[in-house]
Amino acid sequence: MISFALKTIGRRKAGFAGAFVALLCAAALVTACGMLLETGLRGSVAPERYAGAPVVVAGDQYVRQTKESGKEKAKLLSERRWIPASLAEEIRRVPGVTKVVTEVTFPYAGHTAHGWESAALTPFTLAEGRAPRAADEVVVDARHSGAKIPGHRVVGVTAQALPGQDTIFFATAEARRLAGRDGLVTAIGVWPAVDVRSAIGARHGGDGRSGGDGRSGGDGRSGGDGRSGNDLAGEGAVAYTGDERGAVEFPEAEGSRVKLVSLGGALGGTSLLVAILVVVGTFALSMQERRREIALLRAVGALPRQVRKLVGGEALLVSVAAGLLGSGAGILLGFWLRSEFVELGAMPANLRLVVSPFPAIVAMLTTLAAAWVAARVSARRTARIRPVEALGETAMPAARLPVVRLVAGLLAVAGGVVLTIVLSGLNTEAASSPVTMLTALVWTVAVALLGPVVARAVTALPLRAPGVAGYLARKSLLAGPVRLASVIAPLTLMTAMTCTILFVPATIGHAAQGEVAAGVKADHVLAPGASPAAVRRVPGVRAVTEVLRTSVRIDLEKYAVQAVTPDGLDRTLDLGVVAGSLAGFGDTSAAVSSTAASRLEVGVGDRLSLVLGDGTPAAVKVAAVYSRGLGFGDLTLSYGLVAGHVDDPRGTVLVAGGAREALPAGTAPGHEPAGSADAAVAYVAMGLVIAFCAIAVVNTLAMSTLARSRELALLRVVGTTRRQAARMLRTETLTALLVAVALGTIISLVTLAAFSLGMTGSASPYVPPLTYAGVVAAVAALALTATTVPARFALRVRPADALGARE
């Protein structure tokens, strides 16, 4: 049967080309998503700054909680956890330790700043000049030789420069003063590679356990990380070796890995569902074109199981070739995605992409399974009918929709209704984003399954197009509703997915910007780096509010936070307080958004236990509940409570009063809402799904047009001109396009309305008219091009040649 399948493929290369392209793209998408997912699970960052120290002791970057089941869960902190400087003395007393170096790290003037005491961690050596000694002296790295640091004298230049960091060194005492963390350090380097963990753990009554960091329940990763560490001296410190030193040096890399797990899983799942839908549709169209061939096989004695084996064998052969090429293309696509994410700042450049055979193997298996199932399902009805009926079937397709397909379509409609209702009740992006894509997909699946019913309803309308081409197009649509349905499905998919992907972030962003515009009462918004003290001295300034953005964990769940200075807050911000008051707001107070209050089940007067960004526990009392959580974050805390627990304490400054020209810093574009900062990353990732949908549109329309060469030849024989035949095809495509755009728009609006209701409380999503017009124009251009170009090739063939080729 395989040899027979090879012959049929060889005779029908054009017919199988569409299936091959769809499977190749599916394999490439699954492979690329698998690479992102695997990088999130197993990726590592090589150390740069800490490369010279065999052991680095630093803060545990996870907040942990033991559940009732006894299992420990862990979640990543958003800020760097600092450790006591006194811990260095404990480590010096460990047998075998010969050298201990402490360091502080903090941002300064666009550089990563340190004290000169920690130069040995890399190691950095001086190429010229001397080490800094006074408070106004600095040493810069080799890349910035000749640079000037405002307010400081450059007294030395190092021989080295780190590829991922611009480094500057202060005198040790000055660095600790500027860091503002009395008695705390960022990390401690230890020489040689001595097991300081068990020794200090025993000295402080530790349990001496080894292995793992508890991540298995926290961020999607499972298993240990190569550290044999317990909590050193009960101070939240962990010893790191090997590439784990890179995780200490680049804490943002750990956050990037968590995002990659989430993004790779969500994108991979969406891509897989879209791929299955496209592949099934492609094979269904292919089988529709081969009804005559399969009917003849049945007429000469082929059994239904033999036909199914033939079709399954063809699918396997095509999918193997497409899977192999697609997996290779997927690896290239994975590297391209990584480069885009690095450029967008979503992941550090030194987070290495994990390349292993597993994503390619999964892509191959997925492609094989999808192709085989799609082919068998598509051939099911044709293979089961009796030979005499099969020959009749080629002349006039059955009028009724198969019962199985009808039931599946109704179930898809029911699933779409359920998902829409569920989506309308979700009020966090993490929960709603995957459900949003799934909802749009399920509605699209329902349209694809019930497509022939939709097509018959369209052809039943009293629509008329002028001229001979319009008459021919109407007759063709009446005779081929199944073909019309096969064209409507990918066009609907592309319209619905594109609108949903584009307008979900637009809806949430518009709502957040609206809340910010309504809530910011300040006359000026100054960018980070402005001196609040200097601003307060400007004549006419009535109030100054410093604003920091960070996040906290409450029962391991992450909540976006803005920290504000309370003095004059009523003159610069209006959070839309609906309960309680911000009067007397202080370091032990918190204001909570309505959405967060509902999730946490708290109200005014209740107490909240939370973990600040660097792992420091805190307890606050709810002073107010406010409505503008999208624009200003889930929680509002005191600046005094938060400022000492963030990596960079510089935030925006809101100013009421004063002349703009008199302010010491330029105004920022505006107070940024507390929404997601990853919209560009989501656009890049989901753009692949849109591209796949576009390929499906081109694929389906090209296959449908080229398969009609016999019909076009017959029209030419009876006197139809090439121009009339081309206009007929364009009219049919425009009919399918209008129906698909309408269906896709309805699907996206229903999905977006549910999303908007859950996230913003309003069922009115934000749809920019020009962007929507651009989507429709792009879909129309793609559809007409995919019809016109193949039509030219089909119409260039002489009628006699076309009829002969088909016989």
pLDDT in tens, 417-460: 999 999 999 988 878 888 998 999 999 999 988 988 888 888 77
Q: List the beta strands (DSSP E) in 194-307.
A: 237-240
| Per-residue pLDDT at 543 exceeds 90 | yes
| Alpha helix positions (H), 480-593 | 481-519, 532-536, 569-572
- pTM comes to 0.80
What pLDDT, on a 0 to 100 scale, did the predictor assign at position 381? Answer: 65
**CA end-to-end span of the chain, whole Å?**
24
| Per-residue pLDDT at 377 exceeds 90 | no
Cβ burial, residue 296 (10 Å; 0-12/13-18/19+): middle
What pLDDT, on a 0 to 100 scale, did the predictor assign at position 378? Answer: 72
Q: Are 692 and 274 in contact (CB under 8 A)?
A: yes
- Confidence grade of residue 217 (pLDDT, cut at 50, 70, 90): very low
DSSP 14-29: HHHHHHHHHHHHHHHH
Separation CA 701–CA 791 (nearest Å): 10
| Per-residue pLDDT at 150 exceeds 80 | yes
Structure tokens at 698: 């081109």
Structure tokens at 667: 């105004």
Q: Which of the pair, 227 or 98, is modelled with greater confidence?
A: 98
What pLDDT, on a 0 to 100 scale, did the predictor assign at position 234? Answer: 47
Give the percent of the chain with pLDDT over 90: 37
**What is the distance, to the nearest Å, from the Cα of residue 37 to the centroid of all Cα atoms in its chain?**
11
Taken in order 244, 45, 355, 690, the sign of the CA dihedral is positive
Q: Which of 78-92, 370-384, 543-557, 699-713 is predicted least confidently?
A: 370-384
What pLDDT, on a 0 to 100 scale, did the predictor assign at position 224? Answer: 37
Q: Which of the pair, 681 or 359, is modelled with greater confidence?
A: 359
| Per-residue pLDDT at 337 exceeds 70 | yes
**Each residue of 607-664: pLDDT tens digit?**
999 999 999 999 999 999 999 999 999 999 999 999 989 988 888 999 999 888 888 7
Q: Which of the pair, 320 or 276, is modelled with greater confidence?
A: 320
Q: What single DSSP character describes residue 537?
A: T
What pLDDT, on a 0 to 100 scale, did the predictor assign at position 212? Answer: 38
- Confidence grade of residue 802 (pLDDT, cut at 50, 70, 90): low
Q: Which of 109-118, 242-251, 699-708 is predicted least confidently?
A: 699-708
Range from 111-120, 265-274, 299-308 that averages highest in pLDDT: 111-120
- Cβ atoms < 10 Å from Cβ of 653: 29
Helix (H) or strand (E) holding 777: helix 769-796
What pLDDT, on a 0 to 100 scale, did the predictor assign at position 199? Answer: 53
What pLDDT, on a 0 to 100 scale, did the predictor assign at position 374? Answer: 77
Q: Which of the pair, 110 or 426, is modelled with greater confidence?
A: 426
| Per-residue pLDDT at 497 exceeds 80 | yes
Task: Determine the average pLDDT of the residues in 154-174.
Answer: 91
Give the percent of the chain with pLDDT over 70: 86
- Confidence grade of residue 510 (pLDDT, cut at 50, 70, 90): very high
| Per-residue pLDDT at 482 exceeds 80 | no
Task: Determine the average pLDDT of the residues in 67-92.
Answer: 86
- Considering the chain, what is the average pLDDT of its residues? 83
